[in-house]
Structure formats: C-alpha cells, structure tokens
Amino acid sequence: MLRKHNKPGNKKTELNIVKPYDFALSLRAVKSFQPSTTEPNDGLQLAAVVEGIPTIIEVSQNPEINGIAVSSRPKTKSSQVSRIVEWVLFTELDLKPFYRLASSGAKLKLLTGKLHGLKPMRPVSLFEMAVIAITEQQISLAVAYRIRSRLVERFGVPIEKQWVFPEPEILASAPIEDLRSCGLSQQKEQYIHDLANKIANGTLDLDMLKTLDDDKARETIMNLRGFGRWSADYILVRGLARPDCVPVDDLGIRSVVGEYMRHGQRLSPTEVTEKLKAFRPYRGLLAFYMLANHRLNL
DNA sequence: TACCAGGTAAAAA
DNA sequence: TTTTTACATGGT
C-alpha cells in the first residue's frame, strides 16, 4: 500500500523532473545572485495568484522518494500550481547532453562535476522579470532592489510575509506620481506604464516569448519601449533561462569566462563569443555554471 | 561633495 | 550614422 504523506490542510504532490537535478544546490545558486540574503529556510516559497487567489506555493525536497514535493496555502487543486513550479525549476531541462559536451576539458569536467544537477531557476512571471530589467538599468542592484520593494509593497498583494508582484492591470492604472514616488525616474516610470498598458489591453503577451526562438524573442523584446540589447539579453538569460544565450557585454561574464578559458584575464565581448563557440547549444548553461561556481565560492 | 553603478531614448552632431 | 545627454537613488 502506498503511504500517504498528506496532512490535512496542506496537500502535497510530487513533481516530475528530468534528472539529474539537485534542488538544494539550485536554490543556493539563485539565492547567491539575489541582493538580499535573508530568508533563512532552505525551501523555496513562491507567492503567486492561483485561480484569482493569492497563494503561497512551497517547494521542498522530499528525501523519502528523493524527489520534489509541492504544497500550497490555501490548498488548491488547480493544475496551475504544478505548471508554475515546473516553469520556475525548469523541470523539462535535460542536463545530460550538456554534461557530455562539457566533458572535453579537465577544467570543465571538474566544474560540471562539482555542480552536478544544477539548473537555473526562473522567476514566476515574465512581467516581473521585465520590470526587474527596467529598474536595474544603469543604477546599482541594491538601489534597484529598494525601488522594487517599494513598488511591490505598495501595489502588490500581501500574503503571509510576502507579496505577489502586482498584475500589469494594477500598475497600468496606477497614477504617475505613485510610481515616481517609489523612486523610479520619469523615463522608467514611462517604460513600466507603457509595458503594463500593452499587457493590460491585450496588445502584448509576454508569455508568447516562451514559444519563440532566441533571436525572435530578443527582437520582440527590443521592439518594446525601454528595452535595449542589454535588457533583452537579461530577460532571455534570467527570465527564460535560454540554455544557449550569453550576455557577452556583462562584466561578470567576461571575467568569469576569462577565469576558465584564459589565465584569469578578463575577455572582451567578442572574445567571449569566440571562446564559447564550441559549446553551442549550451553556451548559456556553461556561462551560468561558471558564474554560479564563482558566486558559490566552492 | 562628487561620482558611479550590470542602460535607454531622444536629441545633437 | 555615430555621439552626447538626462535620468533617480544610495553607497563610497
């Protein structure tokens, strides 16, 4: 007989995920990129609106079955929950071909060995991701983070000790001064209003980016007001976790690729492209592994 | 105090 | 077509 580990009021379901996968490692990796290192617990909590109801989705390791368990508060039967978690954890990504490709050199073999099972995590919503990109243009990450906190706490939906990121409709109808008073510049306030309006009135569906190839997705993003090359790449890499996509302009990437592929010397954007050429279609994953290893300081 | 931080659009040259 | 410029906040 199958043992049920369900408790009343907290329905748990298991998640199918393409292996190898190391949830704890992947979680540590995302957190190492986040400005705030609070959140002491070792599980993942996502705040999202499910069937119109603000919900906390909890993702944790289930040692009994060596898998991933998902629960939600309030509990819901909606299949939206697993779809969200599948998206965030990138369950469908198969790391095996990437490992085969990166096993050529001793250094890279060591890297993928240390980080075995690491997958990038993606934010719940691409709208939030797009707003992150706008706020982080030019100013420091810490400042951008403060501005976003004010935005979320003001317009988002509170649940437990978190907030669900505001829906486009909410920001679209927010008065200009209200957005400005969160610390956004006049330009950035316009970009966000413009984006939110397009989504709210149905002219734009960011989720369809998921169906486009890298170049087409980049082009689509760059046609939006306020999104240049940097922001488009940022969304492709962080928001969609495209396995072959590398933000070659990024200083961190240039240093860390140089660390592995030249003697710790920073590379130029074209040199990064050159050095990673052989690792298509997993150039982005490789860069992610290098960066994660650097951040985690293993 | 002044300068800079994972840019961008619009104006100017 | 390429080069400047304004922009908001907070850390140094």
Selection from A294, A293, A291 nearest residue A247 by Cα: A291
A6 Cβ within 7 A of any nucleic strand B atom:
no
Does A6 have pLDDT greater than 50? Answer: no
- pLDDT, residue A272, reads 87
Between A291 and A255, the higher pLDDT residue? A291
- pLDDT, residue A105, reads 84
CB within 8 Å of A63: residues ≥ 6 apart = none
Encode pLDDT of A175-216 as tens digits: 999 999 999 999 999 999 999 999 999 999 999 999 999 999
A30 Cβ within 7 A of any nucleic strand B atom:
no
A226 Cβ within 7 A of any nucleic strand B atom:
yes
- pLDDT, residue A2, reads 39
- pLDDT, residue A34, reads 74
Question: Using a 7 Å CB cut-off, which residues contact strand C?
Answer: A 138-140, 142-143, 146-147, 183-189
Q: Å from A272 (CA) to B12 (C1')? A: 34
Residue nearest to nucleotide C7 (CA to C1'): A185
- pLDDT, residue A8, reads 46
Does A40 have pLDDT greater than 60? Answer: no
A232 sits in which H/E element: helix A229-234
Query: Closest nucleotide to A137's CA, by C1' atom?
Result: B7
A137 Cβ within 7 A of any nucleic strand B atom:
yes
Q: Å from A139 (CA) to C10 (C1')? A: 9
Between the CA of residue A285 and those of A117, A163, A242, what are the distances in Å? 12, 30, 8
Encode pLDDT of A95-145 as tens digits: 999 999 999 888 899 999 999 999 999 999 999 999 999 999 989 888 999
Q: Which of A4-8, A44-48, A177-181, A255-259 has the lowest mean pLDDT?
A: A4-8
Q: Which of A7-16, A149-158, A273-282, A286-295 has the lowest mean pLDDT?
A: A7-16
| Prediction pTM value | 0.92
Q: Å from A257 (CA) to C9 (C1')? A: 31
Confidence of residue A1 (pLDDT cuts 50, 70, 90): very low
A247 Cβ within 7 A of any nucleic strand B atom:
yes
Q: Å from A187 (CA) to B12 (C1')? A: 19
Q: Å from A134 (CA) to B11 (C1')? A: 22
A91 Cβ within 7 A of any nucleic strand B atom:
no
Give the Cα separation of A174 and A243 in Å (integer). Answer: 36
A136 Cβ within 7 A of any nucleic strand B atom:
yes
Between the CA of residue A264 and those of A254, A255, A257, A296, what are the distances in Å? 10, 7, 8, 18
Does A7 have pLDDT greater than 50? Answer: no
Between the CA of residue A278 and those of A95, A102, A133, A272, A282, what are the distances in Å? 17, 10, 29, 11, 9
DSSP secondary structure string, A119-146? -----S-HHHHHHHHHHTSSS-HHHHHH
Residues above pLDDT 70, as percent of chain A: 94
State whether residue A68 is helix, strand or coil. Answer: strand
Between the CA of residue A140 and those of A122, A158, A165, what are the distances in Å? 21, 26, 21
Encode pLDDT of A258-298 as tens digits: 888 887 777 888 888 889 999 999 999 999 999 999 888 76
Query: Closest nucleotide to A251's CA, by C1' atom?
Result: B6
Positions of chain B reached by protein Cβ under 7 A: 4-10
- pLDDT, residue A259, reads 85
- pLDDT, residue A292, reads 92
Q: Å from A221 (CA) to B11 (C1')? A: 24
